Structure 1
Amino acid sequence: MPEDGIDLKARDDIMRFQEMEHLLGLFLDLGVTKVRITGGEPFVRKGLPEFLIKINQYEKLESINLTTNAYFTEDAVQLFQKIKMDSINISLDSLNREVFYKITRRDDFEKVWSNIKKFLLTDLTVKLNMVVIKGINDNEIVDFAELAKNSKVEIRFIEQMPFNGGHFSNDILSAEEIILILQNAYPSMMEFFKMSSTARIFEIPGFKGRLGIIAGHSRTFCSTCSRLRLTPEGILKICLYDHGSVNLKDMLRSGRSDQEIKTAIKDAVSKRAKDGFESEQRTLQKIHFSKNKLSMAQIGG
């Protein structure tokens, strides 16, 4: 989160739940089978549990996934166990209270960690996402890996991306450097190949959980990425680094037909850049902006 916060959107500028349900139905018709609810923080929006229950009834939807900071999830465990929740991704960048505060600007580590432990006691697939920030929390890499020793959890180390709110160093600790740190600590660590995954997955003999490395800045997974992103404003992004292809909310509200919206989606996908670097260059050619002032709180985790 940028130090001075972000500009809040007016209610009419973001999609209503009914609009999200409608658009999800169109994506399912086009072959999408998996959805992830992200943010910002999904649980700040009233009505989220009811929305999850509603889309759980879509027959073509094979899995629902959610990314959260675990701050508002005290009562979410029972809900997630009732629906076809495939995985819970929890953003946690430090196990140290002071560092947690420095990164999140919230002195709530104990509350968040308490909620995370509730999830770890369930049969739900839990993934902890740690964005590795050089000089801030990179000394905790092995501490995080140790969490997978006795818990069936996937610890995912993510390269710091250029959407950091403008308040951290741009000196990136690369995915390869993160892997080297882990290999030095765990010489028997082995890579586990997983098709179409944005993460490189590793297993350590004797560990109940696994480790994942996501090269979000290096963008080495672009050739296998099949993800689409729909922002709260209804803008379809074919890549995290692009400026957005088409506003589906506006098309919906202007009375465009379902077929017209599907055609717009297919047209946008057909023009996908070869990788995140090309997407970024296309964006820079269209508009002038400082990406380092953008935040995942604005474009979604």
Structure 2
Amino acid sequence: MPKEGIDLKARDDILRFQEMEHLLGLFLDLGVTKVRITGGEPFVRKGLPDFLIRINQYEKLETINLTTNAYFLEDTIPLFQKIKSGSINISLDSLKRDVFYKITRRDDFERVWNSIDKILLTDLNVKLNMVVLKGVNDNEIVDFAMLAKSNKVEVRFIEQMPFNGGHFSNDTLSAEEIIKTLQNSFPEMIEHLKMCSTARIFEIPGFRGKVGIIAGHSRTFCSTCSRLRLTPDGTFKTCLYDHGDVNLKDMLRSGKSDQEIKTAIRDAVSKRAKDGFESEQRTQQIIHFSKNHLSMAQIGG
């Protein structure tokens, strides 16, 4: 979230739960089998648990996944044990209280870590996402990786991207530099090939969990990316860097048929850029990231 905050949208300007359920049904008809609820923090929105329970009944939906900052996580663990949970991705950028505060501007590290501690005791598939900020938390890379030694967790290191709410540093620590840091401490680290994954996954002998690297800035995974994104205001994006030319909320509310909406989805996917760089070039003709401070709170992680 940018320090100055973002322009809040009126309630009528964002998708209602019923509309999200309707659109999800259309995506399932088109072959989607996995959904991820992101944010901002998803559980800020009232009614989310009931929404998850309802979409859990969709027969074609194989897994429900969530990205969260873990602030509300402790109370929702029983919910995830009841639904078709895929992965619970937890955003945590530091293991140090003062650095956590610097990044989040919230003094909630103990609450967040206690929730993480509890969910690691379950059989749920947990991933910890750390955005590596050069000169801020990059000295914690090995400490984060060590969390995978005794815990069945996937610790993932993410390149700093233009959507972090305002740059902490001008220099991005590349995926290759992060891998080199890990290899210096874990020379026996072995890459585990996984198809259609945005992360490069590595196994370390003797570790219960794994480590992963997501090259979100250098975008080396674009050729295998199959993700589609729907923002809170209904904008349909085929890439994180995509501006989005189709608004599915507006189509729904203007009375467009399900077939017309499916056609619009197919057309957008058919025009998908070859990679994130092309998407960014298209977008910069319309809007400039650095001037508008777009953040994951607006786009969805």
- TM bucket (normalised to shorter chain) is over 0.9
1:245 Cα deviation after fit: 2.4
Aligned equivalent of 1:42? 42
Aligned equivalent of 2:243? 243
1:57 Cα deviation after fit: 0.3
Q: How does 1:1-301 map to 2 (within 5 A)?
A: 1-290=1-290, 293-301=293-301
Contact 2:231 2:299 in 1 (8 A): yes
In the aligned structure 1, how far is the partner of 2:286 from the partner of 2:280? 10
Contact 1:222 1:274 in 2 (8 A): yes
Amino acid paired to 1:181: T
Q: Unaligned stretches of 5+ in structure 1?
A: none
Contact 1:3 1:167 in 2 (8 A): no
| Runs of at least 4 residues off by over 6 Å | none
Q: Which moved more, 1:279-288 or 1:136-145?
A: 279-288
Amino acid paired to 1:162: P
Contact 2:162 2:290 in 1 (8 A): no
In the aligned structure 1, how far is the partner of 2:285 from the partner of 2:73? 41
1:286 Cα deviation after fit: 2.7
In the aligned structure 1, how far is the partner of 2:218 from the partner of 2:164? 15
Alpha-carbon RMSD: 0.9
Contact 2:162 2:289 in 1 (8 A): no
Contact 2:158 2:216 in 1 (8 A): yes
SS of 1:21 mapped into structure 2:
helix
1:268 Cα deviation after fit: 0.2
1:291 Cα deviation after fit: 5.9
1:74 Cα deviation after fit: 2.1
In the aligned structure 2, how far is the partner of 1:270 from the partner of 1:232? 23
In the aligned structure 2, how far is the partner of 1:149 from the partner of 1:216? 25
SS of 1:93 mapped into structure 2:
coil
1:170 Cα deviation after fit: 2.3
Amino acid paired to 2:13: D
In the aligned structure 2, how far is the partner of 1:288 from the partner of 1:114? 39
In the aligned structure 1, how far is the partner of 2:129 from the partner of 2:292? 20
Instruction: Give the structure-1-normalised TM-score.
Output: 0.98
Deviations 1:186-243 (A, max 9, x none): 0000000001000000000000000000000000000000000000000000100010
Amino acid paired to 2:99: V
1:164 Cα deviation after fit: 1.8
Amino acid paired to 2:150: N
